Amino acid sequence: MARLSENNVSSSRSSALPMCYNAHMRTITLKGGSEMPVIGLGTSQLKGEDGARAISEAIEVGYRAIDTAEDYGNHDAVAAAMNESAVPREEFFLTTKIPRVGLSRESVLERTKRYLHELQTEYVDLLLIHWPNRAIPIAETLGAMEELRAAGAIRAIGVSNFTERHLEEALSTGVSVSVNQVEVHPSFNQKKLVSYCGEKNIVVTAYAPLGRGKDLQEPLIAELAKKYGVSVPQVILNWIVSRGLTTIPKSSSRAHMEDNLKALTWAMDPSDIAAIDALPQGERIFNPPTAEFD
């Protein structure tokens, strides 16, 4: 089973983050032994000089997990921020993703070589299939990713936006899938999928954890924020991590980045976690025409 490490993380509800608090101090162990920070930085829309500046600030604050993708068009900004920091490469957990149009063996190998060049690194910690594409055999895609792992170009293999059916097909290939990155927030908690992934020792990473701001308006969460003396986003992120998930909230604001990390400094009562679990469920926010949610 995935193992959660809480080295040097305070459980006090009132504790404040020290300067340059390291989010990588609290990690979850993936198949194969990689340590993945439970809170990372989502970088969608963080591009160019402004994007690099925001990512640099996240690193200064203490983020060590950085999530990017070919579709984000910001590998250069990520590389610039990482290179300008004083943080050794081995302390970062870098994730990128292959688009659904690039899942043939030849494309996976070629694109990953390009990613390493763009990111100015010898390896990525986690390579994901961004969206499933049944037009290309999953065995072909995962086989190519396994080649990359054997060659040391990637450390772990994962997927994104996969349903149980997609995961069953992926696992039938025999390739070890470590992560499934999917939309998760209080009004779309993916309880069944999270349970399935837990049974298969697949770590779930929650993207859009705040429901694009919608879930920040939930009265129960506001009440809990008042109870614990924390922000509403902290309540949501704490709830996600308490479920054994990792998450990648997106922000370009240093204040928000710092606040998000404070979600790791206090503990929520199990009854309150259960109350958020029981909130009414809505629809997906992200459901593009090419999605294969079935």
Mean residue pLDDT of the chain comes to 92
The pLDDT score that the predictor gives to residue 213 is 82
What is the set of active-site residues?
Answer: 72
The pLDDT score that the predictor gives to residue 2 is 58
Specify whether domain 3-12+20-209+247-252 bears CATH 3.20.20.100: yes
The pLDDT score that the predictor gives to residue 3 is 52
The pLDDT score that the predictor gives to residue 212 is 82
The pLDDT score that the predictor gives to residue 5 is 53
Our separate counts of H helices and E strands in the chain read: 10, 11
Q: What's the rounded mean pLDDT across residues 194-206? A: 98
pLDDT higher than 70, residue 15: no
The pLDDT score that the predictor gives to residue 293 is 87
Instruction: Answer whether 82's CB lies under 8 Å from 88's CB.
Output: no
pLDDT higher than 80, residue 17: no
The residues pairing with 28 across neighbouring beta strands, listed in sequence order, are 4, 36
pLDDT in tens, 60-117: 999 999 999 999 999 999 999 999 999 999 999 999 999 999 999 999 999 999 999 9
The pLDDT score that the predictor gives to residue 12 is 31
Q: Which two tokens stand for residue 102?
A: 């690039």
Q: What's the rounded mean pLDDT across residues 190-210? A: 98
Whether 130 has a binding-site annotation, put simply, is yes
State whether residue 97 is helix, strand or coil. strand
The pLDDT score that the predictor gives to residue 22 is 47
* Neighbouring C-alpha atoms within 13 Å toward the C-beta of 86: 3
